[in-house]
Amino acid sequence: MLRRTLNPGEVVLVSFISVALLGSFLLMLPTATVSGSLRWIDAFFMATSAVCVTGLSVIDLGSEFTRFGQGIMLLLIQAGGLGIMTFSVFLMMMFRQKISFTSQLSIGFEPHKNQTRNLFNILVFVLAMVFSFEAIGTILLYARLKTFPAESAPFFSALFHAVSAFCNAGFSLYKDSLIQFQHEFYLPSVMAFLVIVGGLGFMLIDELRLWLQARLTRRRYRLSLHTRICLYFTVVLLIAGTGAILLLEWNNMLVGLPLAQKLMNAFFLSVSSRTAGFNTLDTGSLTNSTLMIVLWLMFIGGCPGSAAGGIKVSTFAALLALIHSKLSGRENAALFERRIPAKAISRALAIFAASFIAINTATLFFHLTERIDVSHNLAKGSFLDLLFEATSAFGTVGLSTGLTPTFSDWGKVGSIVLMFAGRLGPLTLGIALLTRRRAPAYCFVEEDIAIG
């Protein structure tokens, strides 16, 4: 019935909001919190943050939620990570309804080599992949947490953090996130692995599976341009982010740590900044230059079709290709000796522009709700903090310099809107709002303007 009255973008929007509303009512139950009561705006904020796999919190999840409340958050994170549309398409298949090509794309999956595939097999692979990685992550984390003295429920904690990491949610049951593990390698490495894999996307992982099968059977299989771009720029961003953080925090948060631990903490922050929101270093104590690096990484985000937010790696790559083509005098943007279609470049520019406007508008909104009566001289430093909060919410990252719990109700509303917008994406929201409008049967006369 929904598909008959709503377009695909609206179905996604309604699905996410509905699950967030349901989650907020469950979190308001007396059995969900230690105090037995939770304000609706706080419950809706936490539910939205979980469904949008953001990780921002206005209350401490580990100490203020009961095990029941933590379980509700876990289910919301899992639902958000898989994508509400994945469940919607799966249910429609169970009722043997026709599945459109748009529905296939809505779960972040696209036929490789322009070949159509059985959507049921795609869904089975997606679910099997997600639950397999989360199961492996749970086992690996349990091996460490069962020996952790402060952990009273090691298996639940291992399951929660594995799901939170693979879904790129960034929620932790520990008040300091993962700061207490900054002196070791095992747990941060497992968490970083889950975050990276979860941020690659279903389509990319499936193509890597097909490529590996071809290699084992000695058949030729050429990776698509999408996969090569995402893999290449993911590695580049991880290395560049690690190097920049290591350099900028060498005499600050990394002071006193052995070289190996400095590398581990810098790498973990580089991984987490692009999508996850876990931290082994106190975010509020980072230098301003490091916060700017983290801002850029949060803005870029992960790969399309994944649980990650941001404008996406492929969008960033397309924009770099466009800049390079214009500076070198070429007509078309290209990467890896392949020309990028003009429509893809237009979408990349639209996503970048919409995201840039959304974040800056939200930053202004936060200044109005949180710092409206404070002069610049008294509020120095707050601009970066509020910009950081806006970028983190829109990029569904979850890192914070410590302002989130102090937000007013209007500030929380602004963050909720940003998380929905960042999770669903500017184009999805555009489809939801504009698809019903018919394109005019005419076009205007073209006239050139001066640019630059």
Average pLDDT over residues 419-439: 65
Q: What are 334's strand-pairing partners?
A: 339
Q: Are 304 and 330 in contact (CB under 8 A)?
A: no
Q: Are 196 and 298 in contact (CB under 8 A)?
A: no
Helices (H), 301-446: 313-327, 342-370, 382-394, 409-424, 426-434
- Between 391 and 1, the higher pLDDT residue: 391
Average pLDDT over residues 235-245: 95
Handedness of CA 159, 162, 168, 169 (dihedral sign): positive
Confidence of residue 12 (pLDDT cuts 50, 70, 90): confident
Confidence of residue 401 (pLDDT cuts 50, 70, 90): confident
**pLDDT tens string 299-324:** 999 888 788 888 889 899 999 999 99
DSSP state of 334: E
Q: Which residue has the tokens 């996969």?
A: 227
The reported pTM is: 0.87
Supply the pLDDT for residue 114.
44
pLDDT higher than 70, residue 452? no
Handedness of CA 47, 169, 58, 301 (dihedral sign): negative
Supply the pLDDT for residue 96.
45
Q: What are 33's strand-pairing partners?
A: 65
- Contacts of residue 63, defined as CB under 8 A and 6 or more positions apart, other chains included, come to 34, 175
Would you tell me how many other CB atoms lie within 10 Å of the CB of residue 68? Answer: 15
- Say what percent of the chain tops pLDDT 90: 46
- Between 412 and 375, the higher pLDDT residue: 412
Return d(Cα 223, Cα 431) in angstroms, integer: 30
Both tokens of 214, joined, read 């071809």
Return d(Cα 156, Cα 152) in angstroms, integer: 9
Supply the pLDDT for residue 186.
94
Nearest to 282 by CA among 270, 269, 292: 269
Q: Which residue has the tokens 């002071």?
A: 255
Q: Are 397 and 276 in contact (CB under 8 A)?
A: yes
Using the CB atoms, write b or e for 155-168: b if 16+ within 10 Å: ebbbbbbbbbbbbb
Q: Are 258 and 295 in contact (CB under 8 A)?
A: no
pLDDT higher than 90, residue 21? yes
